[in-house]
Structures are given as structure tokens and as C-alpha cells.
Amino acid sequence: MIRGSLPIIILTIMGIFVLSACTNEQTATTNGETVDNEIQNNNGTNQEKKDELVLPDKKLTIDSKGNDVQQLQTILKKLGYDIKASGTFDADTEWAIKDFQSQQVKLAATGIYDKSTKEWLEKALNGSFNIKPGKGIAKNKATVKESDTITVSNPTDKLVLVNKQHELPDGFEPKDLVVPDVPFPFKEDLPKKYMRKEAAKALEKMFTATEKAGLELYAQSGYRSYNRQQVLFASYSEQHGEKEANKFSARPGESEHQTGLTMDVTSPDIKFQLNTDFGKTDEGKWIRENAHKFGFIIRYPKGKEAITEYQYEPWHLRYVGKEAAKVIYEQQITLEEYLGVLKV
């Protein structure tokens, strides 16, 4: 009985070993396929990470080169800018950055890619900040020739640029002129007492602050019509010659005073005059450090004459709004630099 059963037992045991071996082989094969699949999946993930658009951390400017520039250009293209991802920060890339910056009031349109610009580009990529390529600065208006004169299309905008290359439209006159409730060194109801309403309200708040600081600030000259500017410039030209006169007085149509957004200020210490000595007075020093808090900038700052093309005028205040004024003050730039429009 035992002898007859022995072959059957041996065959059964051998079958178990064969079945076990096959099972182990199948498991090994399955595990191998699993490992291969994991490797392939990881490679795919790594490739996706490689292809992911990441904004550079380093500061980039004209003539910068490399992968960071190419990545930036690729992202700008994704946002709709018609530029090449060449890896060289060229004029087109600078324009695209300027245009993007000019559509956010908290950015100066410098054309330089920096930390602040990166933050807003990230917002544009995730859809929380909408832009329209070319809306801020048209390619052909990013720079202007010194001999060119452009008639501005946004004369009522508080950020309107008025200078020797950007003139106001014929017959322009603000419709919301009012007299700010601030002290003047004269009592007559003259046009130069007036400002646009928003600017006038901001001026009143600033004057209230100067009074609390124990200062004596006076408003001297605000709105000036085209005709009045024409008379003044002709008079200065007769006395000093047109070229010399244009260093401190604007040609008619090119004066910021005509916008109604400007006020010249003075103090008793300089006998209510408008000259550079104002910058040395307590009132002038306070204005230099605090005017931006109320939306005003010193339009023609010292050391920027080559850009503004006017002499230093510490008394000439221009209303641009608090956000823009803060950027201009903190970066110590001009309105031209803020808007990214410079002459060549």
C-alpha cells in the first residue's frame, strides 16, 4: 500500500515545486513590469517638471542672455506678446516688459524684469491680473525722437504725459476746475487758483497736514490756459531767447498747468517767489518727503534735467494719484521713467 502510493506522492511533490516556481516567475515578471511602469511614470513627471514654465528669480535687463531670458520670453509669448524666445533680452522683450508694467499702476514701466514684475506676471499667469498686449505702450511709442511731437489721446487721464514731445489737443480745457480751499498769497479770483476737482481735494488734505506740522505753505499757480501760456512764453522768449526760455517755461500746448493737475507752491520764507530756494525751506523739505502720500510728485526733480528737459523746480507739484506717486517717490524716478516713455 505504501509502496504503491510512493510514486504518486513523489509526483505530487514535484508538481507543487513546479507550480511554486511558475508562480514565483510570474510574480517576478509582474514586479518587473511594475518597476518599469514606475520608472516610465517618474520619467514623465520629470519631463513635465522640466517643461513647466517657471519665472526667473534673477533681475534681467536689456542685453541679458541665457536660459532665464528664454524662459521669460516664453512666458511673455504665452501671455500674448509677439516676441521671439531667443534667449537674448532684446528691444522687443524690453518693450513687452514695459507694456506689461504700464498696465499695473503699482509698477514703473522701466523695461527691467525685477521681483515686483515677477509677482505681477505670476498673477497674470494664474488669471488674477488681466492684460492686453500693446494696450499700455504701443511699440512705436515706447520711445520718441527729440524732434517728434505727439498729441496725447488721454488729456483727462491723471497720468497724462505732457512734455516737449507730448502736447495737449487743440482747445483742450478741463471741465471740472474748482478752487481748492487752501491759502493763496493773493485774494483775486484768478484762473491760476483753479485745479481739477480730484487734485484740488488732494491738495487740501496735503495743506491740512502741513498746517498740523506747523508749516506755512501757500498755493501760487495752478491752471493755466493755452492762451495764457502763449503770452507767458512769448514774453520769456523775448527776454531770454526761445531756447533759454524753454528750459524753465513750456511752449503753449506743452504745459502741465493746462491739464489742471498742477500747482506751484511757495512760502513766506522766500517771499512767495517760485525759485530753487524753496527746496531749502522747511516747507520745501516737507514737500519733498511727504507730497507723494497725497498723490503728488515733484515733477522736475534735481538731477533729472536730461530726462524732463526742464530745470529743477522743487515748487512744481503734479498730481498723479497715491499709487503712482508712491512708486515714483520710492524709486526716485520721473513721470517719463514711470510711464516708460523716453526720448532718443
Q: How confident is the model at residue 46 (pLDDT cuts 50, 70, 90)?
A: very low
Is beta strand 313-319 parallel, antiparallel or unpaired with respect to 296-300?
antiparallel
Is the whole model's pTM more than 0.85, yes or no? Answer: no
Q: How confident is the model at residue 8 (pLDDT cuts 50, 70, 90)?
A: very low
User: In whole numbers, what is the pLDDT of the chain averaged over residues?
Assistant: 87
- State the Cα–Cα distance between residues 228 and 221, nearest whole angstrom: 12
Q: How confident is the model at residue 9 (pLDDT cuts 50, 70, 90)?
A: very low
77-83 average pLDDT score: 95
What CATH number matches the domain at 143-343, 1.10.3720.10, 3.30.470.20, 3.30.1380.10, 3.30.70.600? 3.30.1380.10
Q: pLDDT tens digits for 208-227?
A: 999 999 999 999 999 999 99
CATH code for 53-141? Answer: 1.10.101.10
25 included as an active-site residue: no
Assigned C-alpha cell, 90: 532684446
Q: How confident is the model at residue 25 (pLDDT cuts 50, 70, 90)?
A: very low
Task: Give residue 330's pLDDT.
Answer: 97
Q: pLDDT tens digits for 311-338?
A: 999 999 999 999 999 999 999 999 999 9
CA distances from 69 to 102, 124, 341 (A): 20, 18, 23
Q: pLDDT tens digits for 241-263?
A: 988 888 888 889 999 999 999 99
Residue 31 has pLDDT above 60, yes or no: no
Catalytic residue among 167, 313, 336, 337: 313
Which residue ranges make up each domain of the chain?
1-52, 53-141, 143-343
Task: Give residue 149's pLDDT.
Answer: 84
CA distances from 341 to 116, 133, 274, 298 (A): 20, 16, 28, 18
- State the Cα–Cα distance between residues 285 and 101, nearest whole angstrom: 31
- State the Cα–Cα distance between residues 235 and 342, nearest whole angstrom: 29
Q: pLDDT tens digits for 142-186?
A: 555 656 789 999 999 999 999 999 999 999 999 999 999 999 999
